[in-house]
Amino acid sequence: MLALAEKFEGRTSGAIQKKLERLGVLVVVKQKLQKSKMTTTGPVILDKNLLTHEEALKILCSALYTLRQPGYMFLSKTSGSL
């Protein structure tokens, strides 16, 4: 708004903003980001047995491959294909 107000001498940025709103122009005002007020009370301890995303996807892929094998009892043609 300030840049437009400088172009139109004698006009304030508020007046320019009001005119743009009346014309139906969406006026976006940049705001400062607020710092988070949340803090942690201690370090986050991860379990050593926790899987990574890659390991979990490998296990899932292996399970799906096994289900698609012919003669596997828990997946039939009537239930849809994978």
Angle, CA 14 vertex, CA 9 and CA 20 arms, to 5°: 90
pLDDT at 61 over 90: yes
User: What pLDDT shows up at residue 69?
Assistant: 83
* Per-domain residue ranges of the chain: 1-28
Q: Tell me which of 30 and 64 has the higher pLDDT.
A: 64
22-55 residue pLDDT tens? 888 877 767 777 776 766 677 777 788 888 889 9
pLDDT at 77 over 60: no
User: What pLDDT shows up at residue 54?
Assistant: 92
Structure tokens at 50: 């926790």
Instruction: Report the distance separating Cα 79 and Cα 30, nearest Å.
Output: 52
CB 67 within 8 A of CB 75: yes
Q: What percent of the chain has pLDDT over 70?
A: 70
All residues at 6 or more sequence positions from 20 whose CB lies less than 8 Å from its CB, including other chains: 27
CB 11 within 8 A of CB 5: yes
Give 7's pLDDT tier (boundaries 50, 70, 90): confident
